[in-house]
Amino acid sequence: MRTAELVSDLKGRARAQVDETVRRVRRTTPGPLLVRIGLFVAALLGLVLAWPLAVTLTPAFFAFFTLALLTMLFPRGPMPTLYLFIAVGGWLAGTMLLGATANLVGLLLLAAVLYLVHNLAALAAVLPYDAVVAPGVLLRWLGRAGLVVGLTAVLALFAVVVPGFLGGRTYLVASLAGLAVMAATVAYLARLVRRR
Amino acid sequence: MVALRPAAPGDGAGPRHLKDALRRWAPTPAFGRAVLIVGVLLATAMLLGRVDLVVLAAPFAFGAALGIWRRPSRVPLVSVHMGADFIGEAGRVAAGLSVANPDEVRYDLVVLRTAISPWLVVPHGDRPYVTTVSPGTAADLELRAQAMRWGRPALGPAVAHAVAADGLLISDPGTGKARRIAVFPITDPFTAEDSMPRAAGLVGVHRSRRPGEGGELAGVRMFAPGDRLRRIDWRVSLRTRQLHVAATLSDRDAEVVLILDVLHEAGRSGGIGGARSVLDTTVRAAAGIAEHYLHRGDRVALLEYGFRARRLRAGSGRRHYHTVLEWLLGVSAAGAGFEPAPDAFGPHTVSSNALVVVLTPLLDVRTAQMIARFARAGRFVVGIDTLPTDIPLPVRGDWATAAARLWRLDRTNTLEQLREHGVPVVAWAGPGSLDEVLRQVSRMASAPKAVLR
C-alpha cells in the first residue's frame, strides 16, 4: 500500500514537472530564445576553437555539446565560469601538451567567442524567458560586444608585435608592472563584489 | 569664498563613485566571473610567460572597464497610468506603464514587470517587458485592460530592474505604485410593479394604498366637505345631478433598506458572462434594486451583515445612486472567525416603515435569526435567496451525497420557518422578482392586527 502511494506520488510530481516545463516552453518568447541559441552556438564554437581538432573529432565532441547545452540552460549559475575554464584549459593543453600551433587569427577568434559566451550568458541571466523584448535591445547589446572585440584585436596586434622590438629586461619590468596593476585591480573589484 | 550647500535637494545627480553607485546597483554573477577570469588568466600568463592568455583576458577586462567607466548610479523611475477612474463590468480602459531613466548614462536594458489583479484582463500583461531607456527619457508601454468583475482591481505595483555595464551591474528595483480603478457592477435589470407596503411621508412618487393627494386615480366618490373644487368630476356630477370628485391615491416616498449578507461567499465567480458566486448575485441584485427604487424617488439605505457592519445611510437621487455603487465595491466576504455585533443589526436600526430586503444565501443560522428578529419587531422583511442553483457540492465519499441532501433539507426547513414568520423568501430572478412577495407583504401590512390593551 505504501509503495503504491509512493509510486502514485512520484507519478504526480513527474507529471507536474512535465506540465510546468511544457508551460514554460509555450511561454518562451523569440527574443530570449534567440539569445539562448546564440549562447549555445558560441559555446560550442568556443570549445571547438579551444581544443585541438584531434580531440574535437573524438567522442569528446559529445562532452563539448553537453557542456555548451548546460551553459545555455543554466546561465545564472557557475556553468559559464566552468565552461570558460574548460575552454581556456583546452587552449593551454592544446598549445603546451598536444603540440597545436597558435596563430593570431585563431587566438582572436577564440578570445572573441569566449567573450561572446560570457556576454551572452550575462544577458541570458537577466533576460526572463518569457519577456517581450523591444526591437533594438539585442542589436545594441551585440554592438557593444563587437566594440570590445575590436579593442581586443588592437591589443592582440600590439601584444604580439611589440615584444619583438623590446629587449628581455624591459619586457620583464613591464610584465612585473602589469602584474602589480592587475593584482590591484582584481583585489579592488573583488572587494566591491564582496561588499554586496 | 565659502561654498554654500543648497538648502533644497540638488538636481538629483547621483553618486559618481563606484562604491556609492553600488549601494543602489549590485554586481551580477557575470561581474564576479569577469574578475575571476581576468585575474586567473593574467596570473597564468605571468607565470607561464604566455602573451596569448593576455589576449584571451583582454575582452573581459575591456568589457568590465568600459562598463564601469560610464555607469549609471540612479535606479529607474516607474509609474503606472490608468485611463479612467471608473468603468463598468466588461468595460475596457487604456492603461500604461512608464519607466524613466533619470541618470546621465543609458541603461543597457530595463526589465519591467507589473502585478495585475485577477479580474483585470490585460493581454500579455503578465509578461516582463524589456527595453532600453536613454538618459533623461522615459519609455512608455501602452496596455489595454478589461475589467471582468466588479470591485477595485489594481494594475501594479510595477517593478523595473535596470541592467548596465554589459550585464555586470543590476539596479535595485524601481517601483511604481499600483493604480486602482473602480469597476461598477452591471446592475441586474429589476422592476417591481407592486406598491410599497407602507410609506414614510406624503411626498414622493410612490402610489400608496391610502387615499390622498396624488396622481393615481382611485375612483369617483361623492363630494365631501374639505374636497378641493378642482377635483370635482363635472361629467359624473352632471349625469348624476350630484357633486362627485375624482379620488386619488396619495403619492408617497418610502425607505428601502437592503441588507447584504456577506458572512459567507459560495460558488465560483466567473466574472462577467461567467458563473456567479453569492457575492456576485448579491452586489448586482442590490445595485439593480437600488437603481429601481432610487429612480422612483424612494430612499435607499444599505447595510452589510458581517463583522464590519458597514452602513450607508438612506438617501435618494442620482448622486446617492453613485454613492451606492461606490459602497457596493467595498463588499467582501467576512472572515469565518468573526461574529456580527448583535447591536448593529437590531430592528431599532431600521425605520418601522421601511421595507427591509435581505439578500442572503441562507448558509448561516445567524442570518435566519437576524431576519426573524426583524420580522418579530414588525418590520416588513423580504428575503432574496442569492445561493447559486448550480453550486457544486464537494463529493469526497459515499456519505457526501446523503450529507448534501440533508443540508439541502435543513436549508429548505429554514426557508419554510422564515415564511411562517411572515418573511417571504424568493430566489433572485431579475425583473419582477419581488412583485409576488411585495404583494404578500402589502396585504399583511394592511390587514387588521390584534393589539393588546
Interface test with A, best of B36, B52, B69 (most A CBs within 10 A): B52
Distance from CA of A124 to the nearest CA of B (A): 9
**Whether residue B245 is found in the same domain as residue B298:** no
Coil, strand or helix: which one is B79? strand
Are the CB atoms for A15 and A23 separated by under 8 Å? Answer: no
Please report, as a single letter, which amino acid is at residue A58: T
**Whether residue B339 is found in the same domain as residue B423:** yes
Q: What percent of chain B has pLDDT over 90?
A: 9
Contact B55 A108 (CB under 8 A): yes
User: Dihedral, CA atoms, B422, B427, B433, B437, nearest 10 degrees?
Assistant: -10
Interhelix angle B318-329/B278-295, nearest 10 degrees:
170
CA distance B440 to B430: 18
Burial class (CB in 10 A: 0-12, 13-18, 19+), A68: buried
Question: What count of other Cβ atoms lies within 10 Å of the Cβ of residue B433?
Answer: 22
User: B26 at the A interface (CB within 8 A)?
Assistant: yes
Coil, strand or helix: which one is A51? coil
Q: In terms of DSSP bridges, do strands B138-147 and B120-121 run parallel, antiparallel, or are they unpaired? A: antiparallel
**Whether residue B97 is found in the same domain as residue B29:** no
User: B53 at the A interface (CB within 8 A)?
Assistant: yes
**Whether residue B366 is found in the same domain as residue B426:** yes
Q: What's the gap between Cα B360 and its chain centre?
A: 18
CA distance B21 to B31: 15
Taking only the tens place, the pLDDT of each residue in B365-424 is: 888 888 888 888 888 888 888 888 777 776 677 777 788 888 888 888 888 888 887 888
Cell of residue A67, nine digits:
557542456
Which of residues B198, B220, B252 is at a domain's end?
A: B252
> What pLDDT, on the 0 to 100 scale, is given for residue B272?
82
CA distance B431 to B287: 13
Question: What count of other Cβ atoms lies within 10 Å of the Cβ of residue A59?
Answer: 6
> How many domains is chain B partitioned into structurally?
4
Q: Can you tell me the mean pLDDT for B247-261?
A: 77
Question: What are the chain A neighbours of B36 within 8 Å (beta carbons)?
Answer: 81
Per-residue pLDDT for chain A (196 aa), expressed as one digit of tens each? 578 888 888 888 999 999 998 988 888 899 999 999 999 999 999 999 998 888 888 888 899 999 999 999 999 989 999 999 999 999 988 888 877 777 778 888 899 899 999 999 999 999 998 899 988 888 888 888 888 888 877 777 776 666 665 555 555 666 666 667 666 766 766 666 555 4
**Whether residue B441 is found in the same domain as residue B347:** yes
Cell of residue B418, nine digits:
422564515
**What residue in A sits closest to B27 (Cα-Cα)?**
A193
Taking only the tens place, the pLDDT of each residue in A61-90 is: 899 999 999 999 999 989 999 999 999 999
Question: What are the chain A neighbours of B18 within 8 Å (beta carbons)?
Answer: 192
> Domain span at residue B340?
254-446
Within-domain flag for B206: no
**Whether residue B229 is found in the same domain as residue B145:** no
Question: What are the chain A neighbours of B38 within 8 Å (beta carbons)?
Answer: 182, 185-186
User: B115 at the A interface (CB within 8 A)?
Assistant: no
- Residue B15: pLDDT band (50, 70, 90) is very low
